[in-house]
Each structure stands twice: as C-alpha cells, then as structure tokens.
C-alpha cells in the first residue's frame, strides 16, 4: 500500500472518530438537559390520614395530615384541631402530634398535623412559620364544608416552636398572606400549647433576639395580649431550661388580666418536651386527659363515659 493511500485512510479514520465523539458529546449534553430538576423538599404523609395541600409556596407545597373519626360523614359539623410540631423553627416533623391526632379523632374531632416551612428544609425564617400557621387555620375554616367541621370550633395547638406558631395564630397581628381571602379569619377559636415560646424578646426566650434581631417583638405573642383572645390551655414543665416556665406564667397572668381564659398546667421537675409520647407515656396520658377536659368544657368534646 503506497503512502498516499495510507494517509487518505488515516484522514478518513480521524474524521469518523471526530464525528462519533461529537455525537456522543451531543447525546450526553441532551441527556443532561433532560434530567429532571432536583425536587423541592418533601414530606411523607402520615398513615391513616388524608393528605391535602393547604398552601403552595416558592419552597414547595405544604400539606395537612387530616385524621377523621371513624363515623365521620360529609355534612358533619365537628370541632377540629390543627397541631404544629416543634423544632426551633429549624427542624421537626408533623409525626410529633400523630398520637394526639389519633386520640382526638377517636373522641370525635377532626384532627390535623400540619407541615410548615422550616429552616433546614426550606431555608426560611420564623416569620414564614407564623404566616404558614395563619394560612393553615384560614384554609381549614375556608374548607369547613368539605372537611365536615364547624368553622367556629377550630383549635390551634403545638409544642415549643410549634406552640409559638399556634400561639401566634391567636394573638399576633399581621403576617397574613396577601393572596388569601382576608375575609376568612385566620384566628382559631381556642389554643392548646405545649411548652410554647410566648416571648421572643430580651425578656423571654433568649433565642428569640438572636434569630429575629430587631424584629423579635413582631411575632412575640405576649406583646399582643388583649381582650377577647381565644381560650387557652398551656402545659409546661417547671424544670424546662429551653423555655423557662416564667415566660408562660407571665403570659397567663397577662391573659387573665385582660379577662381571657388561660389555664397553665405545670408539671413539677419536668423538662422541655416532657409531654411527648416517645419521651413519657405517663406525661402524655396526663396531658391528653387534661386537654380532653379543657375541650369538653368548651363543648368541643362529649364528656368521657
């Protein structure tokens, strides 16, 4: 084979290799382009609950886990409670209040465990947490007919930071989503708070000013105490180092001074999160029993037989 022919064959081979490399590169780029975008932070629905979107945000959809009584039917007008989990506005999971929801559903209430935006999942601040709490109460009231609930018997509950969110729905003014129907109130008819943060300023929980800065008073429930607030029950441990009991004692005193019903149930020598079933069945049973009595006094539950 002469040198000219060899050179021609070599040139053709180089050309074909270049074409194949280009085709492979184009295919790879196209495949990369077609890869689905990373999904936004998700949550898992709780077993036995209806899973409904109550709010769509830039950070993703937010759901309610809705537990219904076994004899629930369309057209009912039952009381309803919505729980917000604890976690310092940073972490946590709706499953925290799953046992409470199951219990109250067995007692005849519709019970919800809410998702809301948190820093670890959504890179948000406590101000978004409060806005989401208000949205949840408003959505429940707006969909009363579909949920078979009484729009005038809505309880907002929660623990720690979730207790703060719940307390804010009943006290704090503002943080209403502008696109929602403002004619539908975001204020609950009662509150059930478990070692809640009620003072986010220098006089209360020290983490408030650190996280909220100069805006710490804007979502501080104790600074919005006034007449005609929802009847409230608070469960708190006397040995709570995360949220000192002095905070809720002061809140309770101010609530009563404004002629609001506010019951503080103190648990001697108990620390933060004492009420959780996973931490203490004894304390869980005790707090649930007292919550039952409170809701019965409001005629939200029938007396225990």
Contact 301, 295 (CB under 8 A): yes
Residues 251, 266: Cα–Cα separation, whole Å: 14
Residue 254 main-chain phi, psi, to 5 deg: -70, -35
Q: Of all residues in the chain, what percent carry a pLDDT higher than 70?
A: 87
Structure tokens that stand for 114 in this block? 């809410």
Percent of the chain with pLDDT over 90: 82
Q: Is-contact 219 190, C-beta < 8 A?
A: no
How confident is residue 277, by pLDDT bands cut at 50, 70 and 90? very high
Q: Is residue 303 part of a domain?
A: no
142, 149 Cβ separation under 8 angstroms: no
Residue 18, pLDDT > 70, answer no
Least confident window among 2-16, 62-76, 248-262: 2-16
Is the pLDDT assigned to residue 30 strictly greater than 90? no
Query: What one-character DSSP code corresponds to residue 46?
Result: P
Q: Is residue 238 part of a domain?
A: yes
Contact 132, 117 (CB under 8 A): yes
Q: d(Cα 189, Cα 140) in Å, to the nearest integer?
A: 12
Say if 172 falls within a structural domain: yes
pLDDT of residue 110 exceeding 50: yes
For residue 24, what pLDDT band results from cuts at 50, 70 and 90? Answer: very low
In a domain, 64, yes or no: yes
Average pLDDT on 276-280 reads 97
Q: Which residue has the higher pLDDT, 7 or 104?
A: 104
pLDDT of amino acid 7: 53
Residue located via tokens 């809410």: 114
Cβ–Cβ under 8 Å, residues 127 and 219: yes
Q: Does residue 12 surpass a pLDDT of 50?
A: no
Least trusted range by pLDDT, from 32-41, 56-65, 107-116, 204-213: 32-41
The per-residue pLDDT of the chain, averaged, comes to 90
Query: For 126-135, what is each residue's pLDDT tens digit?
Result: 999 999 999 9
Q: How confident is the model at residue 41 (pLDDT cuts 50, 70, 90)?
A: low
DSSP assignment of 133-166: HHHHHHHHHHTHHHHTEEEEEEEEEEETHHHHHH
CATH for 270:
3.40.50.1820
Compute the Cα dihedral for 211, 249, 268, 107 and give only its sign. negative
**Could you report the per-residue pLDDT of 201-252, keeping only the tens digit for each?**
999 888 888 889 999 999 999 999 999 999 999 999 999 999 999 999 999 9
Query: Residue 43: pLDDT above 70?
Result: yes
In this model, does residue 124 exceed pLDDT 60? yes
Q: Considering only CA atoms, which of 64, 21, 109, 26 is closest in space to residue 288?
A: 109
- Residues 64/82, Cβ–Cβ less than 8 Å: yes
Model pLDDT for residues 139-187, shown as the tens digit of each residue = 999 999 999 999 999 999 999 999 999 999 999 999 999 999 999 999 9
Quote the pLDDT of residue 2: 52
Residue 21: pLDDT over 80: no
Query: What count of Cα atoms within 13 Å lies in the side-chain half-sphere of residue 204?
Result: 24
Question: What's the confidence (pLDDT) of residue 305?
Answer: 74
Residue 32 lies in a domain: no
Residue at 91 is within a domain: yes
Q: What is the pTM of this model?
A: 0.87
In a domain, 4, yes or no: no
pLDDT, residue 14, reads 45
Q: How many domains is the chain built from?
A: 1
Supply the range of the domain harboring residue 184.
Answer: 50-298
The answer to whether position 222 is within a domain reads yes
pLDDT at 253 over 90: yes
Q: Is the pLDDT of residue 94 over 70?
A: yes
């Amino acid at each position: 084979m002469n040198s000219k022919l060899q050179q021609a064959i070599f040139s053709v081979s180089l050309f074909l290799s270049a074409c194949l490399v280009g085709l492979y590169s184009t295919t790879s780029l196209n495949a990369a382009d077609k890869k689905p975008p990373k999904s936004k932070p998700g949550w898992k629905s709780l077993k036995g609950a209806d899973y409904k979107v109550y709010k769509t945000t830039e950070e993703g959809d937010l759901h309610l886990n809705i537990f219904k009584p076994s004899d629930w039917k369309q057209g009912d007008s039952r009381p309803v409670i919505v729980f917000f989990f604890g976690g310092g506005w940073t972490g946590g999971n709706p499953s925290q209040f799953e046992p409470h929801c199951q219990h109250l559903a067995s007692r005849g209430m519709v019970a919800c465990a809410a998702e809301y935006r948190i820093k670890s999942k959504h890179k948000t601040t406590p101000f978004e947490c409060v806005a989401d709490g208000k949205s949840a109460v408003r959505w429940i009231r707006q969909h009363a007919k579909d949920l078979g609930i009484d729009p005038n018997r809505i309880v907002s509950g929660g623990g720690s930071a979730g207790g703060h969110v719940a307390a804010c729905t009943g006290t704090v003014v503002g943080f209403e989503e502008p696109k929602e129907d403002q004619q539908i109130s975001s204020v609950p008819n009662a509150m059930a708070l478990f070692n809640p943060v009620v003072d986010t300023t220098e006089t209360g929980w020290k983490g408030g000013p650190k996280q909220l800065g100069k805006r710490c008073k804007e979502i501080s429930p104790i600074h919005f105490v006034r007449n005609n607030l929802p009847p409230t029950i608070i469960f708190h441990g006397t040995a709570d180092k995360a949220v000192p009991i002095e905070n809720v004692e002061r809140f309770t005193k101010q609530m009563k001074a404004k002629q609001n019903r506010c019951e503080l149930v103190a648990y001697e020598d108990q620390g933060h999160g004492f009420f959780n079933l996973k931490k203490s069945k004894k304390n869980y049973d005790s707090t649930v029993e007292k919550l039952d009595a409170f809701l019965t006094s409001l005629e939200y539950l029938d007396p225990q037989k």
